[in-house]
Structure 1
């Protein structure tokens, strides 16, 4: 795509540093309170803390600074102190893939958290559209839910991401897309030609179950929506859950974000199979939590995600049951064509059947968009994320087993 014309020369800030084994903490992604505590630990007078936090906040999130020397309105001696005690490192981009449809997937390695931590890896995905740029972020390394149709669920949970690691995914995406004022975008970047933002929407639909990491998701959302920083609207942030019922209400009260529910079935026996957490929090309890979600209205509808599995949940009877099940809940129903991955036993429903299913829902008065699969060719589509390191380790184990078997013969 062509770059927008510039009315004035664009001055590029120094490139952002990558994460390393450096023992100094990175300030990128820190919530305000944590940043203030860090400055107190450096001995800054209490009367300066608020001002210095505001300065750092602006340089990190508005200007995308990659080194302290770029912070020209921060005193030189403080810049030196900050550089000796901390960094502005981002997670390291281990691999970047660009789909034929423009979707970008990054495998990110987080900074090491100790001698036994080599740096956890997660995936995040950027989906460009004419009217928005959506970033799908991860909240955990791996997942515990074992949803039978989801590739990510085949990777064991390693740990939760902290708030800074969640926010840092957005910072990395903005770095790679050149989404900062006065900075030239990198070669091959997606550049909106309508004056819109590069990253305008965030969805917690990457690796992990966000509500099993609720505290850090709440804190990260506070950073994302800060009016003096990334300035994302709460209505442009969607948290998707498989149904951790006790955390749904607190999420709405604490963050005010939009809610998405991975439903995928209309009765408990099938949902028990597809989404095993349903055995703990069955459909009736889940839907009651949805009805009680703070701020729920026709302007703030809940999105129900429904993956279309051939011969499993795609009959017109299921469509009618879905309409009946959601009656009275302000809702939108996203129909997701199943995205295949190596080893799955499921197939995607025929497109004609998906359209008939959608018509039943639409005729009942619900919006029922069919989500266009994006990034399938780079395993970046919904349900396909699984860290590259885990896949490589699995291949290595398989090769070793084959070698051992040959040796035994």
Structure 2
């Protein structure tokens, strides 16, 4: 390559990397097209990887195929880094089937290529396939290999997932691979899932010894882990010792107080955060609303909902609305809860309708129960609990014929109770 062409390639590559890093992916792909159209520029694997990542972010399968074709023409298809980017991009834009075929056709697979496909299986929740692939690796696994599988097992592994994730971390250390920040973050939910306070302390000690802490992301996860693991004083101690607190850190502390039912403390932390000039986000407000819900503070929930939308201009999501419906329902403000559902800018979730239906039973509200149940029968046709709940509400109001009718509708639709469930409808003698 001529010196002038080399300098042009370096300049183009820097610009391409900058566009991709700053999220201007359309511009990045336009630059790649210009580079490929220049016959004097010999593009390297790094350039193709950048283009594929931008195409994946934009979910452009046709562009991925075009870059794939360019890689074939350039003789770079078997470069491990191009191959891993292709596997990842096909998995995100097309399907895991396409990604797996490309992986199987790749003759030179290093750990990066293996990790790309393992990560795709993990993100899709297909833990068995991820584990099978992990066990089939014909190259030494890396920390990334372990981290992906540990996180997937902890999240999607079911009842035994937490203990299996912790065990895999121990195998990782036996293999001579040191856990890193990503490993510790993946393990926090696993430790909480098993109620393993000692494991949380072990991770904390490991982080201190290996200089992972202080780290705001780790510390926020540690606050949440200690709090949900039943050790609120430790959570508060970690929070108080944090050198820098971002909105995630504050949200973690509020979430912990909400989890333990300390609504006043949660709202106090929120006020401290405002005084510290940290702008709250949607997650923070969700934590505050949950705190209000657990304590039955309907007035406060409405106040913070208004602060979120009117003072900070944040869009309320379905989770915010569901939480508001829940707190209003718990407080017996059923009509207000129903009006919130009716005014939602998006379709109400089963969680919102379920909160209203459950409260109707507590407060003997039949008319709203019928409305909520009718919607739930449509969006959760297999959920026997909704039928049982409505029948119970009818029975509680002395409407035994209506209760029996609900039972017959349920049987007619072929909806069955879960094992261990029962149907009890009082009958008049």
Relative to the length of structure 2, the TM-score reads 0.31
Per chain length, whose mean CA-contact separation is higher, i.e. which structure has more relative contact order (CA < 8 Å, sep 6+)? Answer: 1
Q: Which of structures 1 and 2 has the bigger CA Rg?
A: 2
Would you tell me which structure has more helix in proportion to its own residues?
2
Relative to the length of structure 1, the TM-score reads 0.32
Would you tell me which structure has more strand in proportion to its own residues?
1
